[in-house]
């Protein structure tokens, strides 16, 4: 009745998960060792060090949370928002909404700055909000919106927040390793990302990094963090390199083998080369899509190279196209989310998926499916 699961061979060009390199997959299958074994704690140190490289930071509080990106997000908000705190939340897609939820569930008061889906976060609107709400303690925004493909100006938003004595929380789930993300140079206070997307690790972990000002705010808390699992002080007791490690939870040992290997591959490639590769394959894709008469959702100036939202032409059936791509070409591309459902496809060129041969294959498959003629929408 039950059998081992052998996954179909897919080419993953959606919003994630993305392709995982065989080296990274193989690393996960190495024999599990104890999470307090000296060999493992050595690996933890090296993983932190490689994560600092990926984040371009010297923050000592840099580590992978043992759960997906949404838990990394929650770690940032649960630790940095105290009941009654005001936080400006920038919403220009799905993940901004989720940040608002996090502020509110942490007992904070969320001031929403909205931009339409596909637009970057407006610096002017954030400036206005900060002026209207001088009590603001935090500004939260998504660096690279996975739901739309828009890149926001993390450096400018952070400068602005700091001028108003607010800290920033930055969602870098899709930006890390795909576009420049300079945690120290831009003075980002708290940043969370994921092990997947442009890192192309196995899905399931969430790298985070916290700067000194964020840590000061956490140290000054008058109330306990509401989550035990995500309490930064407790988690760092285990990940800290000073003195004895205190047991918090059993680390996802094999997932960390795998993350280490993905970070090692990024280090071997060089992060600047990774950014350039993402950019080049993106240009190749856009050229091909435009040659087919398709139009991008986001203007070029704020278009992410790694996540490409392309408008579905009138009369073409969204679901039928994606089903044909999956069934006939084993190719996964992403659907639109929320208000963009049925209006765009999201083509991911992240990490291992960002290869010129994948771009060519995707363009060719899309051309065949759309030109096939059988997938126009029912009138």
In the complex, minimum distance from the CB of residue 310 to its own copies, in angstroms, rounded to a whole number: 18
State the Cα torsion 30-174-219-251 to the nearest 10°.
Answer: -10
Give the one residue of 131, 135, 163, 228 binding its own copies; rule: CB under 8 A: 228
**Least separation in angstroms between CB 133 and its own copies:** 23
- For its own copies, the closer CB: 27 or 309: 27
Rounded to the nearest 10°, the torsion over CA 139, 145, 150, 153 is 30
Pick the closer one to its own copies by CB: 169 or 286.
169
CA separation for the pair 100, 78 (Å, rounded): 12
Site string for its own copies, 113-152 (x = CB under 8 A): ----------------------------------------
Return phi, psi of residue 246, to 5°.
Answer: -100, 140
Which 46-105 residues touch its own copies, going by CB under 8 A?
Answer: 46, 49-50, 66-71, 73-74, 78, 98, 101-102, 104-105
For the chain, the 3-state helix, strand and coil shares in percent, each to the nearest 5, are 45, 15, 40
Binding mask 334-373 for its own copies (x = CB under 8 A): ---x------------------------------------
| Cβ 201 to its own copies shortest distance, Å | 10
* Segment contacting its own copies by CB under 8 A, of 12-20, 119-127, 182-190, 300-308: 12-20
Give CA 309 to chain center in angstroms: 16
d(Cα 188, Cα 159) in Å, to the nearest integer? 9
Among 253, 321, 365, 369, binds its own copies (CB under 8 A): 253
Q: Which of 289, 332, 359, 362 lies at the binding interface for its own copies (CB under 8 A)?
A: 332
Answer for which of 58, 165, 247, 269 binds its own copies (CB under 8 A) is 247
Q: Which of 81, 186, 261, 274 binds its own copies (CB under 8 A)?
A: 261
Does 237 bind its own copies (CB under 8 A)? Our answer is no
Phi, psi of 100, rounded to the nearest 5 degrees: -60, -45
User: What's the min distance (Å) between Cβ of 273 and its own copies?
Assistant: 16
Binding mask 148-177 for its own copies (x = CB under 8 A): ------------------------------
CB nearer to its own copies: give 83 or 134: 83
CA separation for the pair 281, 352 (Å, rounded): 11
Closest distance of CB 129 from its own copies, Å: 23
Distance CA 141, CA 65 (A): 20
Q: How near is the Cβ of 277 to its own copies at its closest, in Å? A: 20
Q: Which stretch binds its own copies (CB under 8 A): 23-31, 113-121, 124-132, 155-163?
A: 23-31
d(CA 251, CA 49): 17
Q: Tell me, what DSSP letter sits at residue 297?
A: S
Strand partners, 144: 151
Q: Is 233 in the site for its own copies (CB under 8 A)?
A: no
Other Cβ atoms closer than 10 A to 92: 25
- The region of 41-49, 54-62, 110-118, 163-171 touching its own copies under the rule CB under 8 A is 41-49
Taking CB under 8 A as the rule, does residue 14 contact its own copies? yes
The single residue listed with the structure tokens 């988690």 is 235
How many residues in the shown chain lie near its own copies by CB under 8 A?
80
CB of 57 to its own copies, least distance (A): 17
Question: Tokens in use for 276?
Answer: 């350039």
* DSSP letter string, 236-269: HHHH--SSPPPP-S---HHHHHHHHHHHHHHHHH
* Shortest Å, Cβ 199 to its own copies: 12
* Interface map 192-221 toward its own copies (x if CB under 8 A): --x-x-----xxx-----------------
Q: Please state the φ and ψ torsions of residue 167, each to the nearest 5 degrees.
A: -90, 165
> Which two structure tokens, joined as six digits, stand for 190?
């708290």
The residue among 255 and 344 lying less far from its own copies, judged by its C-beta, is 255
| Residue among 299, 337, 309 at smallest CA distance from 120 | 299
The number of helix segments (H) and strand segments (E) in the chain equals 12, 13
């Amino acid at each position: 009745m039950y059998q081992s699961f052998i996954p179909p061979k897919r080419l993953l060009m959606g919003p994630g998960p993305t392709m995982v390199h065989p080296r990274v997959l193989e690393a996960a299958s190495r024999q599990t060792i104890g999470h307090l074994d000296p060999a493992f704690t050595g690996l933890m140190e090296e993983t932190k060090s490689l994560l600092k490289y990926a984040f371009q930071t010297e923050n000592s509080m840099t580590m992978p949370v043992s759960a997906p990106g949404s838990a990394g997000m929650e770690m940032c908000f649960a630790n940095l928002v105290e009941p009654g705190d005001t936080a400006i939340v920038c919403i220009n897609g799905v993940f901004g909404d989720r940040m608002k939820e996090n502020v509110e569930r942490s007992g904070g008061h969320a001031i929403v700055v909205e931009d339409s889906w596909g637009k970057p976060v407006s610096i002017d609107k954030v400036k206005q909000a900060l002026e209207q709400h001088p009590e603001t303690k935090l500004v939260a925004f998504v660096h690279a919106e996975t739901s739309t493909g828009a890149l926001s100006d993390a450096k400018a938003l952070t400068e602005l927040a700091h001028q108003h004595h607010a800290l920033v929380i930055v969602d870098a789930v899709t930006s890390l390793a795909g576009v420049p993300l300079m945690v120290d140079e831009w003075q980002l206070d708290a940043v969370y990302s994921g092990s997947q997307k442009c890192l192309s690790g196995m899905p399931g972990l969430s790298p985070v990094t916290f700067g000194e000002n964020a840590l000061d705010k956490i140290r000054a808390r008058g109330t306990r963090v509401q989550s035990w699992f995500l309490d930064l002080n407790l988690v760092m007791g285990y990940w800290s390199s000073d003195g004895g490690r205190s047991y918090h939870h059993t680390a996802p040992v094999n997932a960390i083998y795998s993350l280490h290997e993905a970070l090692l591959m990024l280090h071997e490639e060089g992060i600047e080369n990774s950014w350039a590769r993402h950019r080049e394959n993106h240009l190749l894709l856009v050229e091909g899509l435009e040659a087919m008469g398709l139009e991008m959702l986001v203007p070029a100036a704020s278009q992410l190279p790694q996540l490409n939202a392309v408008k579905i032409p009138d009369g073409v059936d969204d679901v039928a196209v994606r089903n044909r791509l999956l069934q006939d070409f084993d190719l996964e591309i992403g659907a639109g989310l929320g208000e963009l459902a049925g209006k765009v496809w999201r083509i991911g060129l992240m990490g291992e998926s960002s290869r010129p041969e994948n771009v060519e294959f995707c363009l060719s498959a899309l051309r065949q499916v759309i030109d096939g003629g059988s997938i126009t929408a029912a009138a």
